[in-house]
Structure formats: structure tokens, C-alpha cells
Amino acid sequence: MKIVCIGGGPAGLYFALLMKRENPAHDITVVERNRPYDTFGWGVVFSDATMENMRVWDRQSADEIQQAFNHWDDIEMLFKGEVVRSGGHGFVGIGRKLLLNILQARCEQIGIKLVFERDVDSDAEFRDADLIIASDGINSKIRTLHEDQFKPTLIRRPNRFIWLGTNKLYDAFTFIFEKTEHGWFQAHIYKFDENTSTFIVECPEYVWLAHGLDQATQEESIAFCEKLFASNLQGEKLMSNARHQRGSASWINFTDVECDQWWFRNENGSYVVLMGDAVHTAHFAIGSGTKLALEDAMELTSEFIRHGDRPEQIEQVLTNYQEERKVGALRVKNAARNAMEWFEVCGQRYLDHLEAPQLMYSLLTRSQRISHENLRLRDRKWLEGYERWFARRDGLDEPDNATPPPPMFTPLMVRGVTLKNRVMVSPMAQYSCEDGVPGEYHLVHLGARAMGGAAMVMAEMTCITPEGRITPGCPGIYNAEQKAAWKRIADWIHAHSDARFAMQIGHAGPKASTRRAWDGTDLPLEDAAANWPIVSASPIPYIPGVSQTPKELDHAEMEVIKQQFVQAARDAHEIGADWLELHCAHGYLLSAYISPLTNQRRDEYGGSLENRLRYPIEVFRAMRAAWPEDKPMSVRISATDWVEGGITGDDAVEIAKAFKAAGADLIDCSTGQVSKKEKQVFGRMWQTPYADRIRQEAGIATIAVGAITEADHVNSIIAAGRADLCAIARPHLANPAWTLTEAAKIGYTDVQWPRPYFLGKRPYEAGFARQRATAEQTVAIPKPVVA
């Protein structure tokens, strides 16, 4: 095949090298706009694992790179006069120029033609090429020329950064945070050769503008950074090797690139495929841009080996390449995006609120690829020291030689209620009541989970009127029979466990009068005559053309419903509930007031967010006044509607602030279920970022929900300060003793089991201990992923 690589960065050079090694008959040319053996930039970084992969593909170039790279295991953070250091992270740093020089020399050695100082404007310049690799970088001319084919999405990120170097040598991947009168700056620093370290300075755009750096020359910007980080540089200078950039252009915004389509066949019959930064970018926050480029080259070569490296096989190869590589690249991109977003918001969200040890933990786990137990594999001593700090901060004064409890097993005190750990059973609709009365089923269901180790069990949304129920199978708290049934459950839980019992009070509003979930979620009752009238903030049906159209409540009706909420609060106290939650999420009545998608009112309860919150806040204040002062109240909200024009994360912070001012103790951070137009983005702990943001920016404790399925998740969330409680739902449906099971899995035995079950505790824990020991003996522990 005749192959042309446009762009002589890591992607183009490495693909050329690998393909020529596999078949020396290929005619391969790499075209680069810069001069021979010249490049801009300082050092690049990737993981030990990437280095191992390179050794498999081409040992000679890998050996040369290994001789030239700098390896380190430690990450060090300098913050508010404290130095925090953690090991075991495994990074490789090498000068970008040296890396490319090694690859260039290796390519020439095996017969690849290198053409320098040629700026390619179009793939049409290579009419006789079978395959054209467009590896021409983040500002790819080829991608831009064929936007209609590649369908790129380019997002300019909000932070500004400047890529510098220094002759001061650092022996760890170092992060420094410095505060100025206008806000926070951070530096990302790593050594890449025997004389030089990369020194990237980053800050939010508003901080950059406030300091006048948009008007500064490059020399003035460097002088500013030297002064800002003078206490660390200790007289060393900062340098730029991008003198081709002038003035504020030396400060740039990262561009997040993603393409729907990665390849096409042009008019000349040549196949054109994007690679490296031209097709997808990964922020430097986890050092994965070079990793993505190298792995692109490896994967495309693999597909040619698998399917054949003849021209007639190219289309099949590229089809498979895109399908396979998109998945692997997305994992890296997601981790890089999480890390990038952490640095974009850390000044606003973390740096003024977290102490140095917790900030370090948050920094290390920012990508969500590194978990609590993965940190233990990397640096057990550091993590146990952090666990001890966390426990003592929360009032546990353990001896220095005692094993500290995992964060999920530290207590939480809210008003007069102390929860023994950070796990609660999330409210989950069971659709199993008759006339709103919880029966034997609910006693067994909730009682079993109260004995399963969670600190608190919250009953499903319990409605204040018959018309407020979601389905005929949903519970109520509006008559004596219901209250007696709830009291029986509360008394049983208090008598047979040390779990707290919570009630979630709500009104289904426009989503009322529907079938049980297994008969058709959100659909009206099959017997039209059985449907009852429904109400909402505005006459907007939940499913247009399917759901009933609700009646818009007038002021008098709103006052009646508010008093019904207040009575429910009084009744919950008499029942014996320890905790009360008001349901203002998921499109139910109070949520329907908050979201602009469902509130089209023209009175003082519609329009602005402040107005839309007015009625839910009135209801909450009235309930808080009726609820005992020493008992907590939380509020469940939908922190985003996942619909353009609906509630956003910014709105959620303001909603949380309003409820905090009204006396709320925690915000239970769910999302969505307000509109059928929603486009949710699922994944591990997918709703936790909303709990994190609200906790830091609104200054109120939060409950995290959504795909939290193991102790590792809970420990990571609680330890990083992303939430104060984790509400576990579906795992508790499968295993009522989920908390006790997870404790045994991670080897934490200092938990109390129900006394009648004590004989099962040691054998159960011993079984998991044997499993861990067997795994350690028979399975090699994989190298840790890059942060």
C-alpha cells in the first residue's frame, strides 16, 4: 500500500513505524510542516502501562525512549503552606522533541520517507495514496476541509493555560495552588530530562482577565508567573520555547475535540482517516494526549494485521478500527474530561473549602478511574494516614496503632440524630399498598434492610392525599389506618436494629393516577373510569397525548395542599420517624413548580427561578416549623432536567441555597424524570457530580445517588467530600444486607451484626478473606491506571 501520514507528531510517526515493521513493502511517507528534528513544546507524560505496550510493538524505539525518559512514582501537592505526597502512581516523562526525534530516526532507519517543511492544505495533494492518515493536530486542516464528513464537535474550555519550562528539577509530579487577590492559579509540573521540567500554569478566564494577562506580552506573562510561584522556584527562571507565539496568544484555551466519523473515501479514491489530536483530544490534566495518539496507531495497525493490509481491505479495517477504538478512547477521554473539569472548578469549588489532606484525596481521585482501594494498592501508608485524619476530623479518636475505619463507616451527626455510617437505603417505590396502607410486605421489606447494616432506611415516597399517589399501590399518610401501619414499622425498626427510620413525603402532581411500574410506568390506569383527577403547577401533561392533562392549582388549592404537607410532617413525628425528606424532584407536584418545563404560570409562582421556588419553599418552611427542631429535614431535588431549557447545574446550586436558607439540612441530589425529552448520561456514580457541586458551592451537606454499587464507590465519594451520605437503591433490592456484605468484602470487620445473626459473621468475613488471599496469589495485580 501507499500510505501518507500528514503530520509528524506521535500518531503519524508511530503508525508509520508500526506499519512498515509489519510489512516493509509498504510505501510510507510522513509529511511534517516543521523543520527536520525540530518541534515546539516541553515534556510529555504517559503511564508505565503505555510504555509496556510500546515495548511489545517496537522494542528498539521503546528501549531508546526508556533510556531517555524520567520515571517517577510520586505525586506532590503544595497548598496553603502544606506539602502532601503520595506514591505508587507510575509516570513516564520525556521531552516532546526527544520523543519525536527518536521516532523520526527509527522511521528513517527502516525506510520511511520523512518530508519536512511542507504544510499540507488538502488530502487531494496525494492522488495516488491508498491510505492517508490525517494526524495534523488539534487544528487539523484535513478535518476542517471535510467537516461535513467527519462531523466534529469542538468545545473551547474556559480555563487559560501557558506551557512553560524551568531548569528547576522536580522529583515528583507536582501540583501547586496559589491564591491571588483575583482568584486561584495552579501549576502542573514534571521533570522530563536531566536539566528541565515542564511548568504549566493554569487559571480560570476571569482570573486571567482580572490580572490583565490578556494585554501582557509573553515576557510579561513569564515574569508574572515567576513572581507568583517565586517561593517554590527559589530563584530559578521560567522559559518558553514557543517564541513564534506573541502576546496573550501564549495563554491558550484547551479545545475538546470529538468526531462522529473518523474516516471517509475522497474523490481520488484514497481513504482518509483522522488520528491523534485531529480526531480526539485529552486534557493534559492526566497526561493522556500522547497516550491516545500512540494507542490509535497500535489499534489501527492491529486491524490491518487482523483483516489484511491490502488496499481492498482498507474499508473493512477502518470500519472495525472506528468501532473498536472509539470505546477505548472514550474511556480515556471521560477520565481526562473529569480531571479537566476538576481543575476548571477547583478554585470556585474546593480550594477555599477543603483542608490540604482532603484536597489531595480529591485531586488523586479526580478522574474517577482511581478509587479508594486502588489508592491502597498504590500507597497503603498514605491512604491509612488519610483515613485516620478523616476519622479524627469527624470526631473518632482512635489510637495511633488502631486500623482506621473506612470513610463510609464513620458516623454523621445531623441536628440531634447520629447516623452510625454513611449508607442509607434509598426510597424505592414498591407499589404494594392497598388503599395507601403499608402492610406485612413493607414491614418485612423495610425491616430486613434496617438489619442489613445501613445507618438509615428511608421509606418510599409517601403521599399526603389519595389523589397525590403515583399509583393505587403507593402509600399514604392521610388517615389513621395508614399512620398506625407506619408506626408499627417504625417501632419494629427501632426495637430490632440501630438504624434510623426516615419518611419521604410528597405529592405526585402531574404524574399521579398511573399504573404500577410492572404494568406500564407512567401510563394512565387501564380502566379509564378508575383514574382520578390530577393537578399541577400548569396544565401540562407528562406524556403529551398519553397522560392526563392536570388542572392548574389556584391559590386556595395550593394553601390546602400546603396544610396537608404540614399535617403529614406532624404525623411522621408521631409515627416515630427520625428524619423527614420533602420530595421536590422527578416531575412530581413540587418539582413541577420548580422546572420551567412544567411551570408556565403567569402569577407570582411562575417565571423566574425565585418565583418558581416560592411555593416549594413555602411548603418546606411550614413543614420545618411543624417538625421537631432536633430532627433533620432533607430535600430531594432534580439537579438537572437533562433537557435544553430546563433546570441546569447552575440552577441546582441556587435551589439548594434557597432550601438551606429555609432550614434544610441536606440536599438529596437526584436528576431528571421531569420530561420525556430528557437525554440522560449514565455511568458509574453518574449523579454524584451534582451532589459534589451543590455541597461545595451552596455550602450544604448532600446525599449522593445513582449507580453507587460497591464500598469502593461510597468510600471514594465520602473521603473526597463529594457528599455526606450515599443513598443505595437497587443493590439493596438484591441484597438487604448490602452494607454488611460490602464491609466483609473489603475486610472491615469492626461492624455490628444483629445479635441473632452473630454466628454467621465470622464465617462470612473469613470467606471473603480467603477470596482476597486467593486472588492475590493467583492473579497479578494490574498496573495502576493513570490519574
Closest CA to 670 of 648, 687, 653: 687
How many whole angstroms separate alpha carbon 129 and alpha carbon 271?
8
- HSE at residue 385, side-chain half, CA atoms within 13 A, is 10
- The H or E element containing residue 611 is helix 609-626
User: What b/e string do you get for 507-545 counting C-beta neighbours within 10 Å, with b at 16 or more?
Assistant: bbbbbbbbbbeeeeebebbeeeeeeeebbbbbebbbeee
User: What b/e string do you get for 625-636 counting C-beta neighbours within 10 Å, with b at 16 or more?
Assistant: ebbeeebbbbbb
Closest CA to 29 of 146, 101, 116, 117: 116
Residue 699: CB partners within 8 Å, gap ≥ 6?
Answer: 657, 660
Cell readout for 123 is: 488530502
Residue 319: CB partners within 8 Å, gap ≥ 6?
Answer: none
**Which member of 170, 190, 386, 588 is catalytic?**
588
Rg, C-alpha atoms of the chain: 30
Catalytic residue at 588? Answer: yes
Instruction: List Cα–Cα distances, 247 to 262, 399, 597, in angstroms.
Output: 35, 57, 45
User: What b/e string do you get for 233-272 counting C-beta neighbours within 10 Å, with b at 16 or more?
Assistant: beebebebebeeeeebebbeebebbbbeebbbebeeebbb
Greatest extent of the chain over all pairs of C-alpha atoms, in Å: 88
∠ Cα 89 367 645 (to 5°) = 170
133 forms beta bridges with 5, 273
Packing angle of the helix pair 711-719, 380-393 (nearest 10 deg): 60
Count the neighbouring beta carbons within 10 Å of the beta carbon of residue 306.
14
Residues in the chain: 787
Does residue 437 sit in helix, strand or coil?
Answer: strand
CA 687 to mean position of chain CA atoms: 8
Decide: 452 and 738 in contact? Cβ < 8 Å. yes
Where do we find the cell 417565571? 607
Does residue 668 sit in helix, strand or coil?
Answer: strand
Decide: 325 and 299 in contact? Cβ < 8 Å. yes
How many whole angstroms separate alpha carbon 126 and alpha carbon 278?
19
Q: Which residues are catalytic?
A: 588
